[in-house]
Amino acid sequence: MTRPLRVGVLGASGYGGAGLLERLARHGGVELAAIGSRQYQGEGVEGAWPQFAGLFPGLRFQSNEDVLADSEVVFCATPHGATAPLVKQALDAGVAVVDLSADFRLPPETYATWYGLEHPHPELYPQARYGLVELHRNELRGARLIASPGCNATAASLALAPLAAAGLLGASAVADIVTGVSGAGRAPSQALHYTEVNENARPYKVAGSHRHTAEIEATVGRARAGGKDLTTHDPFRPYTVTFNPHLVPMSRGILATCTSQPVEAEGLSDASLLDTFRDYYAGDPLIVVQADLPQTKAAAGSDRAVLSVRYDARARTVVAFCAIDNLGKGAAGQAVQAFNVANGFDEAEGLTRGGMWP
């Protein structure tokens, strides 16, 4: 029997880190060997996460250096900008990386434009493979550096990719997203204070100012050019998308509503579009395409995406929907899914397909 891979988690005291602990703990092919946190260093897991009390006996938060020393693969749930040096350190030590930050999702020059930072290790970008499994599965096999996608980018890209591949997008598309507050992370701020968020819906970073726009445009552009399951690192070929996120008073969840007016709309119907989506995602174990419109609660607590699509004949507009859990398929679940593909495990090992209801 093959011994389990020793894995570590950096940034394990954040929401993404908690999701990784939960999934890796039930993964049959790994040993959760080490976890890192500067804030909780030296404490047991329950110091940051009371829900895990008693589940990880002997496991304590360590320094980043100690986690790297104890791991064969490390998941980085750490901030952009600060993660690239950790990735460099890990790769130099022979440790493979799944990076949940934005540091290797985009070409270095594009990263600099959207994140306002010169990339600290642009030489590593050619090694990175984008971790949206449904579109990059073949590229991910054997990958040593996985760039796990952003949560908003995941939902919008999954909704738009089948339309792009079928030639059913017009000159541009609009992606309107509602998202729960956990997507902003665990650090407190006035904008995320209960009294600011409760009974309130607020657009933010709209009209092309949100950083995930670049990821959506790159992924949809790839699908529009006909790429799916390629075996090489695909060039950056963006397609224009206006991305408008809205913060709503729920803890977790994303619902993307994406629209475009195709140049040629003859013969389109709800039924034909649903067939297009089902064909595109045939065999993808974490994708559900259904006639009913998706709801965030149907994906909450899970690692799946729930999609549907409609045709507005009056406006000649295609409307695609995608619901995910921003901490599941949008973060920890997606990272583990890509890790599974890279390392030859069953794609859904350690993951959850059913949502939480109520």
Residues that are catalytic = 151
Pairing of strands 241-247, 202-203: antiparallel
CA distances to 52, 177, 248, 300 from 245, in Å = 32, 5, 10, 19
Q: How many CA atoms lie within 13 A of 211 on its CB side?
A: 17
The count of other CB atoms within 10 Å of the CB of residue 39 is 11
Peptide bond before residue 358 is cis, with ω within 30 degrees of 0: yes
- What is the Rg, in whole angstroms, of the alpha carbon atoms belonging to the chain? 20
CB 67 within 8 A of CB 46: no
CA distance 349 to 138: 18
Q: Which residues pair with 50 in a beta bridge?
A: none
Q: How many CA atoms lie within 13 A of 99 on its CB side?
A: 33
